[in-house]
Structure 1
Amino acid sequence: MVFQGSSAAISHTGKVRSNNQDSGYAGSNLFVVADGMGGHAGGDVASSLAIGRLTELDQPFPSPTEAEHAIRDALADTATELIDTVGRRPELAGMGTTVSALVMVDDYAVIGHIGDSRIYLYRDDTLTQITADHTFVQRLVDSGRITPEEARYHPRRSVLMRVLGDMDPDPEVDSFIMPTQDGDRWLLCSDGLSGVVDDAHTAKTLALGMPPARTADALLKQALDGGAPDNVTVVLVDVGGQHPVFIGTPTIVGSASNPSGVVVPAARTGRAGWLHHARQVANEPTHFEPAAEFLEELIEEDRRRARRRRLGWLAALIIVLAGLGFGLYAGYAWTQTRYYVGTDENSVVIYRGIQQSIGPLSLSTVYEDTDVELAELSEFDRQTVEATISASSLDDAQRIVDRLRPAEEASG
């Protein structure tokens, strides 16, 4: 059965990249996002080849299981085609692509995924990320070493653990089948969107209920407003719903939409890459699948970074505590230059400090218990000294005590 719903696809170079290495496809039953990598030419070719190979899946399937097998076979064939292409054109060595594909079969969504492009499902006012990123930082998140928020800004967030590339003829692909229902909104996107627009803003946009094309435009605008450091590709699929049933020619966007996008420039000489000896300089990857030994190096580097971060926080804490301690000491030292006159049980006392306490800590101590008895004072003087009398200095405090002495004692 042909999918009943509506869809839209849009792709943009972004504000930093010089060309668009993403590709997207929205057909009758098939929907795909592919994010190419491998330099100016390689990424274009890889994502375009992936879309070209997968378009054969845009057909009704007898069952979701058959569609799932077809997706896995098509992705394996794509990997083989990438390897063969590099064999003919060695200047493309190091190219690869992510793929997030969705095939609608009756009331089921059949998903094939590799890399860090994403598939989301918006259902019942809730946005859920369906696919898992095959990235180095996602492993750190899964192991509890960093938080999802830290992963958004991690310097290694673009390092892929799995990708369709020219080195692995048998890629490890995630595939699964999910039930879908009327009203579902499926969002496929490259990391140019998910890396800039957070899930909360994405969900808010999907909740507006605009047609797929307007919704895709709104999401792209948010990515551009956020700086769009990478190519941005969005494919939106509505199941059933109020908008017209999708009928017509498939929509192809990004490098796959432009035949010139797969024309490979002549090879140029340049330094050798760490994975390939003949990679041209223009093909330095924006992200790539690390070899096992390089992965260990990344993990150790992340451990060093974590240690430096902990040491930085510890140093900052020590500085703050030292500053706080110095401030408390300086404040306390100042209070010990102050004096006031008060009482104990039955005599006049000179106190050093101020008439304050911090919790159980008093900021004043007895400096001198004078021989002036409270009983010898007039009612007014006794009430005054019991309320305490501030002094500007020790000499001033002693003068106050002298004034409080009975006249005969003072003259004697």
Structure 2
Amino acid sequence: MASGGKSTAVSHVGKIRANNQDSGYAGAHLFVVADGMGGHAGGDVASAMTIKRITETDKPYSSAQDAQFALKSALLAANSLLADTVYEHQELTGMGTTVSAMLRVGSDIAIAHIGDSRIYLLRDGQLTQITADHTFVQRLVDSGRITPEEAAVHPRRSVLMRVLGDVDASPEIDTTVHDIRPGDRWLLCSDGLSGYVTDDKMLAVLTSLPDADEAAHRLVKESLDQGAPDNVTVVLVDIDESSDSGCNPPRTVGSAAAPLSFEPEPARRPMRLPTLLLHPLRATPPADEHFEPESEEYLDELILEDRRRARNRRIAWLVTIGLAAIAIIVALVLAYQWTQTRFFVGVDGTRVAIFQGVQADVGPIALSSVYEATDIRLGNLPNYTQKTVQETINADSLSDARDIIERLANVSE
């Protein structure tokens, strides 16, 4: 944790991972979150090295455009640094990191972004996502193929289309400039928060807790309460009337705050039973994020796979409905057959008769019918017996029903 009054940074390893591959930084002008990928291949190394390189931009600039250029240049330089490191340490092949960074210059903020960490703006009670996720599922959402709700549980949600690392010598980096106003609250976070805490919940926390440090810790707690299988990093920046919103002295959290190490990642901690019971929907660890080239061929392949998956899901749904319908029909047939093993004595018109079935109807379907008519007239029976027959007399079997008829014949006039 780091705190400087108007800005704060918090990072937590989560409840499953053995080490923290996230890194965060809150400085005088610069604020960054990086989420490393590559697991044992060095996600923590990637985010830590990237943060250390980008922090060189934490200084005043004459314009937001200059800051924007400086951020983009720093991210590209970090990308080259990661590639050189992999060349010298082959065991780190495949490592990479997302980055969401912003530099404050007076009344403006310059942003540089790549990957699926996020920057949000809380302004006038509304929380807006400023950055766009560079993921496969976001492509599907943008093209209208799936909904945001489907994206949250999509099996390919961990596929990143853009990252820093040894995978692309010139990655495309999103850069923008935004104005800032007193009262703004800027949130930078890894997907350990955004993937497990809803926007509505984040909004509730950010609007109810004016203290930046308290709000950041509450956001992390909300993620932990959801099981937090991933690392969670939050950097929060409050804007007031002054031109200073930085953290002084600058603070670093996550893997960038620890000595740089190329040691392999230890095995994940086993999931504890209470976590399984309290968070069954988050019980299994999420698949490690990984990069796939942003090529049309690969996108077409994934889209075709997604269509096959949707088609298989529809087929499975139809088969399930069909089997359920068959089960219901079989149950109804068996139930009807059982009713036809039952008998009772009642009135058919003016005469007493033996009925097969039960005294009930299912809609227009009667579950009983006359099995055997008799010559006994209802009016020839004593008044009490007439009432009993009208209300029907259950029999244990057909022979029992005939015995009842014989007794009624003996008392008829």
Q: Quickly name the TM-score band, shorter chain normalised.
A: 0.7 to 0.9
Task: Please give the secondary structure, in 2, of the residue aligned with 1:113.
Answer: strand
Which amino acid in the other structure matches residue 397 of structure 2? S
Partner of 2:160 in structure 1? 160
> Aligned-pair distance for 1:406?
7.3
Contact kept? 2:33, 2:99, Cα under 8 Å: yes
1:341 and 2:341 matched: no
> Aligned-pair distance for 1:66?
4.4
CA–CA separation in structure 2 for the residues paired with 1:331 and 1:295: 53
Contact kept? 1:22, 1:34, Cα under 8 Å: yes
Larger mean CA deviation between 157-166 and 128-137 belongs to 128-137
Which amino acid in the other structure matches residue 114 of structure 2? I
> Aligned-pair distance for 1:249?
1.7
Which amino acid in the other structure matches residue 357 of structure 1? D
1:382 and 2:386 matched: yes
> Aligned-pair distance for 1:32?
0.8
Partner of 2:366 in structure 1? 362
Task: Please give the secondary structure, in 2, of the residue aligned with 1:230.
Answer: coil
Partner of 1:250 in structure 2? 250
CA–CA separation in structure 2 for the residues paired with 1:202 and 1:398: 76
1:240 and 2:240 matched: yes
Change over 3 Å in CA distance of 1:220–1:401 after alignment to 2: same
Contact kept? 1:32, 1:51, Cα under 8 Å: yes
Contact kept? 2:23, 2:35, Cα under 8 Å: yes
Structure 2-normalised TM-score? 0.79
1:9 and 2:1 matched: no
CA–CA separation in structure 1 for the residues paired with 2:181 and 2:370: 81
5+ residue gaps, structure 1: 267-284
Residue 288 of structure 1, aligned match among 287, 290, 293: 290
Partner of 2:270 in structure 1? none
Contact kept? 1:340, 1:354, Cα under 8 Å: yes
Instruction: Work out the number of aligned pairs and report it.
Output: 385
Amino-acid identity (%): 54
After superposition, the C-alpha distances for 1:238-288 in whole angstroms (9 at most, x for unaligned) are 22299x964522222223334x31x5469xxxxxxxxxxxxxxxxxx9432
Structure 1-normalised TM-score? 0.79
Which amino acid in the other structure matches residue 347 of structure 2? T
> Aligned-pair distance for 1:24?
1.1
> Aligned-pair distance for 1:333?
1.2
Larger mean CA deviation between 349-358 and 144-153 belongs to 144-153
> Aligned-pair distance for 1:6?
0.8
1:37 and 2:47 matched: no
> Aligned-pair distance for 1:28?
2.4
Report the aligned-residue RMSD: 3.4
Change over 3 Å in CA distance of 1:345–1:106 after alignment to 2: farther
After superposition, the C-alpha distances for 1:306-355 in whole angstroms (9 at most, x for unaligned) are 44444444444344333322222222111111122222333333221111
Contact kept? 2:126, 2:203, Cα under 8 Å: yes
Change over 3 Å in CA distance of 1:252–1:385 after alignment to 2: same
CA–CA separation in structure 2 for the residues paired with 1:175 and 1:313: 44
Which amino acid in the other structure matches residue 197 of structure 2? V
Task: Please give the secondary structure, in 2, of the residue aligned with 1:207.
Answer: helix
Partner of 1:135 in structure 2? 135
